[in-house]
Structure 1
């Protein structure tokens, strides 16, 4: 499963694609994988709010009311609902989305208690809920990830190949949600890397639909790096992708395909 996150007006949204390695023999998402991503989005929401390192202290009972199936998107949205001196409570909702139909179902909801680790990078008391960052007023898809050690080179910065994977993933999801069709990458234009992305930073891909054709969509993606402790952001890269709608046999849809008429 690959994961991405989005800041949503005081909340953080983690978007995953469900692949075979994430499912059980019924073809539905493993509960443990779902819990891991709920915990991750709780951490991201806490860290972006408090600008401090956090750990999970507890989570309340979590009941699964609907499955998430192989090939679907899954969204875990974390919102700060309480702020203490050194801890926050994060409410997390898990929603499954069928790619082509757009059908969505609530899978579960849970509450996570996150505690700031005291140290030189932690400023207490934590800021109140009212200071949360507000969502940008546009139709762009904001998606992010975290850079782990396995993704970095000997300089401690993100491999270019992993950055390309993030850019392409954002383009795929933006194109699929726009067209509600099966999309594949047909081409990528020149990609310029402007700044390095360091281990432990959050990456945010901002994907916008530039143009819609009869069976293709052009997606512009900007990649930003954000330091979770300081909030500093750098524009790291820009890329444009052409995504094409295909039929079950992998052939481009015929001209005038209704799936791309918007």
Structure 2
């Protein structure tokens, strides 16, 4: 265990995070950047005294549970999480929860597909990244909290908009089955992740449909090759669906394309021009 390096690393990661990043109020003017030590300790479920000793290079070797809590509290990337474990003298085991860090090359890919609606989802079906056309076709994800960007919550708990379930897609029920099956696999893969447990408990409590699908114990996921969106401004848009698996991050890149020259192709092209300005069209 390298106490001095561990202390410096923890301090540097703490100082780069703003209270807003973790859902805390900014409060009165702060003397130092980032979070306070007591805030990190609270988020990591450890005592402030223990965390302070770690930052002062005089704490005992932290357990794997403490390291996992610190990694979540400090929003560490996979590389940073591994570095934290190595500094603490405890080589990392399997990832404690689904990765939310999207590779820069994937972000670039998503934004280089102007004629396609593309987005990235985590193992819990949280939308992590998207391009402008995906926002125009589905909804403006930038206007939503992280919690509300979860497609499983959207299909099972989200209220229909204008009578349209899940953006008016033709396969909403099939997607619901897909979501339940994927979350069952995710729960088995990350049994100790509290966010996964909370999500599943919330869905089982709030949706009879999810509870029924969950209790079926099905895990086979059938691919969707085509679906139709009933868009409120440009009408029906039939798209081809492709999903690229990012196995190292347990993520998916989902790409929707329409056949050029068809009414759906023209509708999607028009939507790319209108963009998310439609959000204000009816107000």
Q: Same fold (TM over 0.5)?
A: no
- What TM-score does the superposition give when structure 2 sets the normalisation length? 0.25
The structure in which a higher percent of residues are strand is: 1
- Structure with bigger helix share is 2
TM norm structure 1? 0.27
